[in-house]
Each structure stands twice: as C-alpha cells, then as structure tokens.
Chains A and B, each alone.
Chain A
Amino acid sequence: MSDEATPAQGSSENEFIKDASNYLRGTIAKGLRDPITGGIAPSDQQLLKFHGMYQQDDRDVRLERQRQKLEPLHSFLIRIRMPGGVCTPAQYLELDRLACAHAGSTLRLTTRQTFQLHTVPKRDLRQLIQAMHKAELDTIAACGDVNRNVMCNPNPLLSALHAEVYAWSKRLSEHLLPRTHAYHEIWLGDDLVAGGEPADDHEPLYGKHYLPRKFKIAVAVPPSNDVDVFANDLGFIAITDGDKLAGFNVTVGGGMSLSHGERATYPRIGDVIGFVPAADILAVAEAVLTTQRDFGDRTNRKHARLKYTIDDRGLDWFKAEVERRLGHPLAPARAFAFDGNGDRYGWVKGVGDTWHFTLFVMNGRIRDDGDRPLLTALREIAKVHDGDFRMTGNQNLMIANVSKANKRRIDSLLDHYRLKDGVEKTGLRLASMACVALPSCGQAMAESERYLPSLLDKLDAVVRAAGLEKEPIVIRMTGCPNGCARPYLAEIALVGKNLGKYNLYLGGGFAGDRLNKLYREGLADEEIVSALEPIIHRYARERNPGEHFGDFTIRAGYVKATRQGRDFHD
C-alpha cells in the first residue's frame, strides 16, 4: 500500500480527512484563532484527537442554550500521554494548577492510566499545552487513529521489575509516536518554514493516513492483570526467570467496543500468540501495528479495529504475517497466571525501604467535594511527596516510592484528609469503575460517573445484607457501548442504552480473562437492583470456596460463558 495513494473509493470519511490534513494539521490553527465560536470545524475535531483532545459540549445545557440563541457550550477534553501512568509530584502539582485555572478545578483519572482535563475552553488550549510542555508532559497521540497511551502494571511489590517493564512501556510509547511536526507547530508555536508544507514531514511508521482506527497497548506483570491486557489490540505479559525479566508473551486482537443492535460488532479478548525476548518488543509492536495499518478495514470504522482484521483473516494468517515482518517466528508462549484485575489498597512495602499507598478514587474523579476535599488533599501530599504518582488501570491513584523517612508525613496527611477509609467501603465499590459519560461525552446515551455512586449505595446494602461486603466483585458501568471502562470484562456490567436504561451483563472473568454476556436489557435503576439482589444472595449461599461472582453466574446458569468475541451475542 503506497503511502501517497489517496484513499480508495468507499473509504470512510475520516480517511479523506487524514489524507487532506497535511499530517494532522487541517485548519486547527485557524480554528483556534476564530473567536466567534467556542468550537472548531468538524473535520478538525477528528484531527484534534490525534493531538490528544476532544471537542465536547455540556449536554446538560444543550437544549436550553439552543433556545437562548447560544451555540452549544463547547469545551475540550485533554488527555495526557503518560506511559505507564507515572508522573512526578512536580508534574502533578502543575496539572493541579492547570485544572484549577482552566478545567473546572477537577482532574479525572482514566481507565488507561492517565489524567484527563475537561471543560477547557478553546481560548485556553494553547497556553495549557505550553504549560504542560514546560512540565515535560504532552498529549500527542493520546487519542486518534494511532497507538495511544501505553499501559503498564504499576506493581509495587516488585519494584525492580516494574522499573524495567515501565522503561519498555515508555520506549514503546515513544517508538510508536507520530513524527509529524503539527503538534509542535500548532500548540507550541514553532514557526512553519515559509511556504507552508514542511519538506521533512513524513510518517515512516504510520504513513499519512495513520491507522484505520485506534490502537491500544498494555503491558501486564502477572499475577496482576490490572491493566486488562486482553482488552488491548496488542498486549505484553511480562515473563520472569526468577527475579529477572525474561521477555513477554504477546497477545493480539483485544478490544471492547460494540454498537447496540449490531451483532457484527463485538468485544474480543486478545489471543496469546507467542513469546518474545524483551529486546524484540519494539520490533514485534511495529510488525503488529503495520500489519493492522496495511490490512485493517478503512471503509467501515465500526469494523476497523485489529480484532476484526484478525477474525476476518484468521489468527494463523495474522501470526504468519507478523512473523514475516519480524523476520523470524515467535517462540512458544510461556506459562503465566493472573489472579485478578483489581487494585490492592492501602500501604504496601516495596523494595529498598520504599512504600506505596494505593488510594481508591471513586470513578477516578479528583475534586473537592464538600467534606471530601480530594483535590486539596492530593495537592498537599504532592507538595511533600518524594517519590512519584502512579495511576492504576482501575482509575485509582498510587502514592508510590515513598521513602521511609517521609512515610509518616504522608500518612498523617492521609489521616487528616480521611483518605484511609477504604475499609468502610464494600469490595464491590472498591472494584467499581465508570466512564465519564454525561454531561460532557458526546457518545453517552445514559449517565455513568454521575449515576454509579448512587446505584452502588443500593447495591452496597444488598451485598452487606448478603454478608459479602468484603468480597471483591468487579462492577463496571459505561454510558454507551463503546467500552471505555472495559465493561465486557466485568463480572457485573451496566452499559447505557438510553437515558436511565442499562443493559446488564454478567459472567466476566475475575482476572479480566473472560468476556461477560447480556443478561437483561434496558433496566432502570430499581430493576437493576432487583435483578441483581437474588443472584447476590444465592451467590452468598451457594458459592464454592474461592469461587468468584462471575464464575458463579455461569455455573448457576444465569448466563452462558463467552469463550471468544464471536460468541458474545450468542
């Protein structure tokens, strides 16, 4: 496939937008300067994603503003590229400052280990990106048809290994970055060479049309699968020889999104196709990514993820193509075992006298909320913290690498701000996630982040009554079927169908290793509770020792097990 070829007839609209964009420039710069509207042109909105930003609008006021002769209240979501979810206290303080100045005084931890700032007005975007740049943060390729933020297990128990795996994650992220100068030019003000199109702008890896669709990579360190490695287009599972990193098992073809009512769309968990030594990880990633670049479906964006490329052509074909590009066959996959995809809360001792505190952050939302001033608390902690912060794949925050000397200070701040009350929370709540959804997300069909806490209040009462308050049960909610909170891997999933109505899925694997299945459709609040209540009580009575809720719902016959993506709708 020639890079310079114009998109074939029948290609999706985005292909033409990319084609005409001059390496992701479009007319973004011009749109930013237009003071008449708070938004930018629709085609630029597509390109803006490659720069880590989404144009959104406050859907709570959309209709009333229409009457008021005001355009929608446009603002921008900014997603930071933060491989492995690691940032320094200084970077955190800068993000906190920027959130307070430009983003409604709130930060959002995402399900892919990074921060999002929401409700940023257009006129503030450039200064915000520039401030981030000074703090050595960027948003390049945090969204868009490229490789996105690379996830990495932040396992504190094996810090030496983590450091090594994290370094590979970072190298992966950097190796797969787009090479266009558009980001620097538009946001940081680097001048265009006179005459317009810079001669040296080309994309050796992606080509001018980039990928057919988004591309996600995660690196897991067993026994924890907190990154949900199987939900990614490309996954690496760290394999150790004793304490040493030997290399990685490679998984391909995971992905969450589907469309309601379209059976041709389905979530899929990745297949393990082999093992590579650590040194080969970049070459493997490149081979997988370019195979998808060349063979992915560019005509239908709902069928463009790697999972469909693999299912359409067969896993054997795909593996052979990757090996051909790699120049040698993959070694057989090695043994590994995951024991869960959740987080361990509270203090944990790492190697070399360092300590880590994992903090439960409901829905990843950091904000001062009446008697829970979380934003203030984390700011005060960041001011004295001598380690780093790590986001988990479950929207939680780890105050990591706290020196022994500093531990007491951090601990007293945690006490002062009442952040150690995790024990009061049910295992269900501690294993919960919700996407942002309304009012800012354009895809949302129903509430998610704003609704899950009140639903959990009701379900907490149910699990307490059943004596299961300590039992971690993975529950995830999304406002639409696109799957940002990876609902199809949860033991209980609620996926928004329309306002106030959710599809209920059951039977996901506790370790993020099995998809769930639709149990009931279009349930309202009380219906969700009454559908789950008898199952939870029965689980309390009839479960086998060590049996997880998801496994139980299959054994008890509530749903059939989903073995692979194409079985999802059966």
Chain B
Amino acid sequence: MRIPQIDPSQTPLSGPQTAQFNAFASSLAPDQSAWLLGYLTASKHFHRDDDHPSAVAGSASDQQLTVLFASQTGNAAKVAKLLVAASASAGIQAVAVSTADYKSANLRNERQLVLISSTQGEGDPPDSAVEFRRFLFGKRAPRLEGLRFAVLALGDYSYANFCKAGAEFDQRLEELGGKRILARVDCDVEFQAAADAWQGQVIETFKGLLPSNNRAPLVAHPVPTTEEAGYDKARPFEAAVLERINLNGRGSEKKTYHLEISLTGSGITYQPGDALGVVPRNSPAYVRDLVAMTRLAPDASVSVDGKERPLADALGDTFEITTITRPFVKAYASQIGSTELGALLDKGQEESFQKYVHGREIIDVLQAFPSGDLPAQTFVGMLRRLQPRLYSIASSLLAHEEEVHLLVGLTRYESHGRMREGVCSSFVCERLRDDEPLRVFPSPNPSFRLPANPDARVIMIGPGTGVAPFRAFVEERETLGCRGRNWLFFGDQHFATDFLYQVEWQRWHKSGVLSHLDLAFSRDQAEKIYVQHRMLERGRDLYAWLQDGAHVYVCGDAGRMAADVHEALIAIVSKEGGKNREAAVEYVENLQASKRYQRDVY
C-alpha cells in the first residue's frame, strides 16, 4: 500500500509542508504506509482542529452541526459519536469534537452546536474540558448571537452538584447570546434512554434548520474496536476469573485484590488507560437485612421489566440498594409522609442532605423512618438500577494476550454502627465464587492515553489502586520497546505490606524500564508522607522532565490526592521554573490543554 502524493493546488498545506509530506510519504515502506493509514483512520473521531474542515472554511459551520463533547470516562464521547452517526443517516452533516481538541477561537463561527458534558466529583467539568470552560467563562469568550445550541448533561444523581458542569455550560452559552433551541436534559448514571430520546429531539430540531444532503458525514466515525465485540453494560461478557490474589501482606489494614480475567472468546480488546466495567450483585446477607427492615416478605412478587420476580431476587441483582439518592428520599418521604425526611430536600438544605447521607445507606433511612405498609412494588420503584462499576485496567494486552487484569480495593468500614462494604469490590473480591463467571464489558477512556511518541517521557503518579493503569502503561511500553523513560510515584500505608506489585516494579527498575521509582508510605513514620511530598522532594528532576516534554498521568483518589498532586505540580513549576504562581498555574494548564497532563481520578 502506498500513500498518494498530495497535489499542492488542492491542499490547505503550504508549499513546504506539501513537499515535506510527499517526501515523507514516498519514503515509507508498504507496511509502514498501511500502518499509518490505519492509524490516521482510527484517530479520526478524535481528530484535531487542524484537520477539521470547519477550522479552515468558516462557511462550513453554517451548514453543519458541531457536536462538542466533554468526556471523562467515555460516556459523553459515546453519545456524541452515536449522535453524529444518527445525524448522518438523517442527512445532517455533523462532526464530533472533544473539548480537549476544540480550538476555542472557532466558537464565534459556530452556528449549530450541541454540547454533551459529564460532571466530575463535586460539580467539576471533566479534565478534558477544563481549558474550554476557562475560555468560555473568561474575558476572551466571544458573543454568540448567531448560535443555536442544545446541551446534554451527564451526571450522578447521588452527588449534590448533579450535572452541574453541563448546567453551567448551558447557562453560559445563553449568557453569551446563544439561542437555546432545546431545553437541557440532565441524565443520571443510567443515561442511555434519556440520551436516546434527546438524540431524537436534536435531529428533529436541527433537521429543520439545516439543508438536507445525502453526503456521508464529513468525518467518518469508525466504531472503536472495543465496541465491535458488542459487549456493553446491557450485554456484558461472562468472563472466567483465572486468578484472584489479595496483594496486601499479612498485617495490612487493607485488602487490594489483583484479578486476572480471561477474555478468550469475547473479542474484547482494550488499550492501556481504558477501564473495564464490572456488573456486580448485591450481598445476599445485605438483601436479607434490608428486606427485614422493610418488613416485606422476601418472596413478595415485584414486576421488573415486565417480569414477575421475588423481591429478594430483584434486590439482589437489579437494584441499587445502598446509595441514598435524592429521588429515593423524595419518594420515600412522601410515601411514609415524613416531613422531617422530606425537609432534607428543601432548597438551601443541600449541605444537610450531604451530611445526612454521608456514611449512611438506604437501610439506615428505613431504620430511622420505619416504612409502615410499604408495597414491594412501590419500594423497588424508588430504587435506581444497579450500576456496573468501572475499574482502570492494570494490564496490557501485549503482555497478557486475551487477558485483562484489575486491581480492586476492597472497601469495608464501619459507620453509624453498621459495617459497610463496597457493593462491587466485596462482590468481586469475596462473594464471587472461583468457578463463577464475572460479567464485564470494555469501557474506553480516550482521555487517558500514553503518548503516541515512544520516545516521550512519562511521569506516573498513582498511589493505592491508582497504580493500576501504570502497570498497564509500563507493560505496554516495555513490550513495545519504547525508549522514553518512565517514572512512577507510588504510595500507600506501609512498605512491608502495601507495596502493590512490588516485585514487578523492582524488576522494571532493575531492567531500566522504570528509570525512577519514588515511594511514599504514609504510616511507616510519625509524620504522614504522601506522593506529593515525594514529588516536591524530586522537584528539580521532575521539572527537568516536564521541560523535556514529559507526559504526566495521575490516577486514584479524586478527593485529596488529585488536588494535592495538582498543587505540588504548580509548586514545582513555580520553584524550579522561577515563575510566579499565576505563570505556574498557566504552565500546568497548558500541560492539560496539550494533553500532557491527564488524570483518571475517581
């Protein structure tokens, strides 16, 4: 296969650029050409503005629908891609762009825009949209009088600031003069049905505004290979668990399980940085306790998706029975007529609500506010569907053919006088029998990717289970023989028992694949030492790496750790780069904007 030469008269490339390209293209061997074409095709749906026609010809914007997505785990990206595909079928010219790739200056030229945004943690936009948001809310934001827009917000109802990022984008676009052509739709974790309905509305609305054409969409959107396998949360793959080991040595306060899962027969593939969805089942003991609290019969019949099932069974595998959501509180309070409980939802009571649900579960609500006569069907009607959990993949397919490895921290703690456990972690680590299949599906995470350049340096910061994707990264880079140096910051409680994958890191350090390995064990000395402290100690080298083009990855706890690490980066850039804080902040933001600083935090 050969890459055709470009005609200088038919390209936006400059003369020298065209000459460079043609020389490069003719230097390639057939297999190199084939690889490069495949590579360019595969990267198209996350194409950069530079090859985006609308960036060249402003007039294209008049005729097309721009689908901007701000995605963290890939859900928003998925909705965007489906919308583009559906638009094409409807004859609408649509193009999907990640907020991370979007050239903000083009916003003033947009005429039709839909924005799909997820919300992280306490109402933040995804990392991929931090830059875009800054632009949109900053002084340089353009007036958008000519814009017609619609926003789809993805979120998790159990968080106080549900869909806040999407809501803010929606409001801001209007403030800037844009015309909201569809009311914003906010989706809970089970977003598919709402998103599908919204997609229909979007197409119907914009169809009337845009000239119909029968051309294919400007940009092809190949469905990622992971989806070709066809496994998703509605139809997970039943995988054999080959190995399940608690990696924490005796005496540890933690239990962190390493799982080796067979993908044989599934066709599922993944890339380092991706996650694996796991469909859990609730604990039968917990279901028993919950049912006892409702004073319902475990075998009371409930209708679920048109099927009659015993209550206990349905609670076991279909409903989320721990997390207290606002809709649950609302429905339950009104069912039992409790104004005290209902008052938690009042405007201005968000803090009280958060405080109440902290460390509590549905069972505590039932205990504190007994239900009286609660029909089983009514009860299940208040509950959300049991959601799969996503775990960052800890292996590279190149190193473990047809396998996927996970690192799962078992969550177990006591609060309000009751032992609590993570629904999925306790299922995966303890309740799942050795001979029982685990239901899994791939969940791509394009915003957490190794640098394309094998020579680029990589700095990985992953305390606790956050180290999982970095095992995948290092395995991948080792197998590919990448020359770029790798540096890992890892931390946990105790060196002796909690050094996850210790012998593997030692091996990689010895062989040179890992050129630096810095460790922070918080409880081995009087004062707490965390990864950010080690980063600060190594500030000089770390800054030198950044100056050398290193990519920085952070994985793990979204609460304290990610923020502390972020601050440490700013402090290092400020000190070692001799910059004031503002300039250091800008430096770090530029890293994010150029995708050299990516996070997978949860």
Question: Hey, which bits of chain A sit against chain B, CB under 8 A?
Answer: 35-38, 61, 64-65, 67-71, 73, 121, 123
Identify which of B247, B495, B509, B524 contacts A68 (C-beta below 8 A): B247
Among A35, A64, A70, A121, chain B packs the most CB atoms within 10 A around the CB of: A70
Extra A-B contacts (10), CB below 8 Å, given A65-B249, A70-B247: A35-B519, A36-B505, A36-B517, A68-B246, A68-B248, A68-B249, A69-B502, A69-B503, A73-B496, A123-B495
- Is residue B34 contacting chain A, with contact meaning CB distance below 8 A? no
The chain A residue with its CB closest to the CB of B517 is A36
A73 to B497, CA, bound (A): 8
A156: min CB distance to chain B, Å:
42
Interface residues of B in 370-394 (CB under 8 A from A): none
Nearest 8 CB-CB pairings of A with B: A70-B502, A68-B247, A69-B503, A69-B501, A35-B519, A70-B249, A71-B503, A71-B502
In the assembled complex, which residues on chain A have CB atoms less than 8 Å from the CB atom of B499? 70
Among A38, A68, A70, A71, chain B packs the most CB atoms within 10 A around the CB of: A68
- Is residue B551 contacting chain A, with contact meaning CB distance below 8 A? no
| CB-defined A-B contacts under 8 Å, sample of 20 | A36-B505, A36-B519, A37-B506, A64-B249, A68-B245, A68-B247, A68-B248, A68-B249, A69-B245, A69-B502, A69-B504, A70-B247, A70-B249, A70-B497, A70-B499, A71-B503, A71-B506, A73-B249, A121-B496, A121-B524
B595: min CB distance to chain A, Å:
30
A61 to B247, CA, bound (A): 13
Label chain B's interface by main secondary structure: mixed
A59: min CB distance to chain B, Å:
13
The chain A residue with its CB closest to the CB of B502 is A70
A70 & B495 in contact (Cβ 8 Å cutoff): no
A121 to B496, CA, bound (A): 9
In the assembled complex, which residues on chain B have CB atoms less than 8 Å from the CB atom of A65? 249
- Is residue B439 contacting chain A, with contact meaning CB distance below 8 A? no
The chain A residue with its CB closest to the CB of B495 is A38
A65 to B250, CA, bound (A): 9
A73 to B505, CA, bound (A): 16
A100: min CB distance to chain B, Å:
15
Q: How many residues of B contact A (CB 8 A)?
A: 22
B524 & A123 in contact (Cβ 8 Å cutoff): yes
- Is residue B599 contacting chain A, with contact meaning CB distance below 8 A? no
Identify which of A61, A70, A73, A123 contacts B503 (C-beta below 8 A): A70
Interface residues of B in 422-465 (CB under 8 A from A): none
In the assembled complex, which residues on chain A have CB atoms less than 8 Å from the CB atom of B245? 67-69
Task: Given A69-B258, A121-B496, answer yes or no on A36-B248 (Cβ-Cβ < 8 Å).
Answer: no
B2: min CB distance to chain A, Å:
47
The chain B residue with its CB closest to the CB of A35 is B519
A37 to B504, CA, bound (A): 12
A464: min CB distance to chain B, Å:
39
B249 & A36 in contact (Cβ 8 Å cutoff): no
A55: min CB distance to chain B, Å:
14
A31: min CB distance to chain B, Å:
14
In the assembled complex, which residues on chain B have CB atoms less than 8 Å from the CB atom of A36? 505-506, 509, 517, 519
In the assembled complex, which residues on chain A have CB atoms less than 8 Å from the CB atom of B497? 70
In the assembled complex, which residues on chain A have CB atoms less than 8 Å from the CB atom of B505? 36
A69 to B245, CA, bound (A): 9
In the assembled complex, which residues on chain B have CB atoms less than 8 Å from the CB atom of A69? 245, 247, 258, 500-504
In the assembled complex, which residues on chain A have CB atoms less than 8 Å from the CB atom of B524? 121, 123
In the assembled complex, which residues on chain A have CB atoms less than 8 Å from the CB atom of B250? 61, 64
The chain B residue with its CB closest to the CB of A72 is B503
A35 to B495, CA, bound (A): 9
In the assembled complex, which residues on chain B have CB atoms less than 8 Å from the CB atom of A70? 247, 249, 497, 499, 502-503
A38 to B517, CA, bound (A): 14
Q: Chain B 460-500 against A: per-residue CB contact (8 Å), 1 yes, 0 no?
A: 00000000000000000000000000000000000111011
